[in-house]
C-alpha cells in the first residue's frame, strides 16, 4: 500500500515538475508534449497496478460488500457537477446503501481524464475534444451520456479595436486556445471553412486564465474560448466575436466514466446519472440561481454568468447514432491534421447500458 501511495503521489509531482519545463517545449512540438504527459501518467499507472494487492483496488473503485466509494472529477465551470456537489444530492442518494462520494477538482478536461487513467476518479464531464485525445492515448474510458450544451456557448474572439474582421484574416496570426478543448475543435473547423491551413496560424495553447491575460495584453491576436469565460471576456473587454460554433461544431458536453467502474458498478453509475439529470433539469429552469451559485467559485459576476446560462442547453441523454457520428467527425478532423497519432472509432467506447 505504501508503495502504491508514493507512486500515486509521484504522478502528481511529476506533472507539477514537468509543467513549467513543458511550456516552452509544447509551443514547438505540441503533439509530443501532450502525449508526453500521457506517457508519464500511463507509465506510473502501470507501476501502481503492478503493486496493487488485489483486484478491487485495480478496479479503480473502493468496494466493501455493497458499499462503494464513487469518485467524481469536476471543474468549477462545469455547472451540473459543481451544483451536484454543492447541493449534496448524490451523497443522499447513496446514503441508504452505505456508499460514499468523493470529489476532486480539475482545471480542465485533459488532466481530469489523465486522473481517470491513473485510477484516481471514476466519473467526470468534459467537452467533445478531451475524450478524443484520451481514447487516442489509450485511456480506458466510456461515454455514458451527453449534454447538448450550445453552439452559442463558444466563440473565436478578437479585441474590440482589432483590425481583424473575419476568420480568413487569422492567417499568420497568434491564436490562444486550450489544447484538446472544444474551442480547439471550433478553431480547426473555422479555419477549414475559411480556407486556411491549421499550419498557417501560430497556436498558443493556454488554459483560460492565462489565455485571458495574453488576450488582454494583446500578446495574441485572437482567442477561442467557451462560456462562462466567453461571457466574462465580452463583458469586461468588449471583445468582438468573429464566429461562434453555429454551423461549425456541435459543441456538446460528455459524461465519461472509467471502464472498470462501469463494469464493476453499473447500478452506481445509473444512480449518478439519475442525480445528474435531476440537477440538470433544475439548472435548465433556474439560470439566475445557477449564476448565483457559481459566481463565488468562479469569481465572475452573477449577471455575466446568467448571460452564459441563458444561451446554453441542458440535458443528460444517451448517445445516438447521430451524436456518435458527429463525435467521430471531431476525431477524424484531429487525425487529419495530426493532433492525434492514430485513427480511432468513437463507437467502440460508447456505453450501451444507457438506453
The model's pLDDT over 31-62, given as tens digits with 9 standing for 90+, comes to 444 444 444 444 444 343 334 333 333 344 44
| Distance from C-alpha of 90 to C-alpha of 123, rounded to nearest angstrom | 13
354 SS3 class: coil
Residue with cell 478543448: 181
CATH 3.40.50.620 for domain 54-143+252-349: no
Positions in the chain whose pLDDT score sits under 70: 1-66, 355
Which one of 3.40.50.2300, 3.40.190.10, 3.40.50.2000, 3.40.30.10 gives the CATH number of domain 151-244? 3.40.190.10
| Distance from C-alpha of 182 to C-alpha of 170, rounded to nearest angstrom | 19
Which grid coordinates are listed for 256? 465519461
What's the pLDDT score for residue 180? 83
What's the pLDDT score for residue 257? 98
Q: Are 145 and 352 spatial neighbours (Cβ–Cβ below 8 Å)?
A: no
What's the pLDDT score for residue 66? 57
Residue with cell 459566481: 295
* 0.75 surpassed by pTM: yes
| E-assigned strand segments in the chain | 62-64, 67-74, 100-105, 123-127, 141-147, 154-158, 174-177, 202-205, 222-226, 240-244, 253-258
What's the pLDDT score for residue 354? 73
Residue with cell 474510458: 141
Which grid coordinates are listed for 236? 469586461
DSSP codes joined into one string, 274-308: HHHHHHHHHHHH-HHHHHHHHHHHHT--HHHHHHH
Structural domain boundaries in the chain: 54-143+252-349, 151-244
| Distance from C-alpha of 59 to C-alpha of 121, rounded to nearest angstrom | 11
Q: Judge whether 54-143+252-349 and 151-244 match in fold.
A: yes
What's the pLDDT score for residue 250? 92
| Distance from C-alpha of 10 to C-alpha of 17, rounded to nearest angstrom | 10
- Residues 153-190 as b/e (b if ≥16 CB within 10 A, e otherwise) read bbbbbbbeebebeebebbeebbbbbbbbbbbbbbbbbb
Q: Are 235 and 301 spatial neighbours (Cβ–Cβ below 8 Å)?
A: yes
Q: Are 170 and 222 spatial neighbours (Cβ–Cβ below 8 Å)?
A: yes
Amino acid at each position: 500500500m505504501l508503495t502504491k501511495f508514493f507512486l500515486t503521489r509521484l504522478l502528481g509531482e511529476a506533472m507539477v515538475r514537468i509543467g513549467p519545463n513543458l511550456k516552452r517545449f509544447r509551443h514547438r512540438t505540441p503533439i509530443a508534449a501532450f502525449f508526453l504527459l500521457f506517457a508519464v501518467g500511463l507509465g506510473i499507472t502501470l507501476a501502481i497496478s503492478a503493486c496493487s494487492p488485489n483486484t478491487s483496488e485495480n478496479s479503480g473503485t473502493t468496494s466493501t460488500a455493497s458499499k462503494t466509494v464513487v469518485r467524481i472529477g469536476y471543474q468549477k465551470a462545469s455547472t451540473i457537477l459543481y451544483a451536484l456537489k454543492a447541493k449534496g444530492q448524490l451523497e443522499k442518494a447513496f446514503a441508504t446503501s452505505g456508499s460514499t462520494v468523493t470529489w476532486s477538482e480539475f482545471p480542465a478536461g485533459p488532466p481530469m481524464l489523465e486522473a481517470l487513467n491513473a485510477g484516481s476518479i471514476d466519473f467526470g464531464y468534459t467537452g467533445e475534444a478531451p475524450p478524443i485525445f484520451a481514447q487516442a492515448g489509450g485511456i480506458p474510458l466510456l461515454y455514458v451520456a451527453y449534454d447538448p450544451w450550445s453552439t452559442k456557448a463558444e466563440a473565436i474572439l478578437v479585441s474590440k479595436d482589432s483590425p481583424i474582421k473575419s476568420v480568413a484574416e487569422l492567417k499568420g496570426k497568434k491564436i490562444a486556445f486550450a489544447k484538446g478543448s472544444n474551442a480547439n475543435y471550433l478553431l480547426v473547423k473555422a479555419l477549414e471553412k475559411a480556407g486556411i491551413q491549421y499550419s498557417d496560424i501560430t497556436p498558443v495553447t493556454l488554459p483560460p486564465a492565462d489565455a485571458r491575460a495574453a488576450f488582454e495584453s494583446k500578446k495574441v491576436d485572437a482567442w477561442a474560448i467557451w462560456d462562462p469565460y466567453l461571457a466574462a471576456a465580452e463583458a469586461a473587454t468588449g471583445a468582438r466575436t468573429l464566429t461562434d460554433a453555429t454551423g461549425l461544431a456541435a459543441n456538446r458536453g460528455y459524461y465519461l466514466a472509467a471502464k472498470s467502474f462501469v463494469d464493476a458498478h453499473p447500478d452506481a453509475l445509473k444512480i449518478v446519472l439519475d442525480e445528474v439529470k435531476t440537477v440538470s433539469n433544475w439548472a435548465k429552469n433556474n439560470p439566475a440561481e445557477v449564476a448565483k451559485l457559481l459566481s463565488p467559485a468562479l469569481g465572475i459576476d452573477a449577471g455575466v454568468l446568467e448571460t452564459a446560462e441563458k444561451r446554453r442547453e441542458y440535458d443528460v441523454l444517451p448517445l445516438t447514432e447521430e451524436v456518435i457520428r458527429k463525435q467521430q467527425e471531431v476525431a477524424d478532423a484531429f487525425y487529419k491534421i495530426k493532433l492525434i497519432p492514430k485513427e480511432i472509432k468513437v463507437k467502440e467506447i460508447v456505453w450501451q447500458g444507457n438506453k
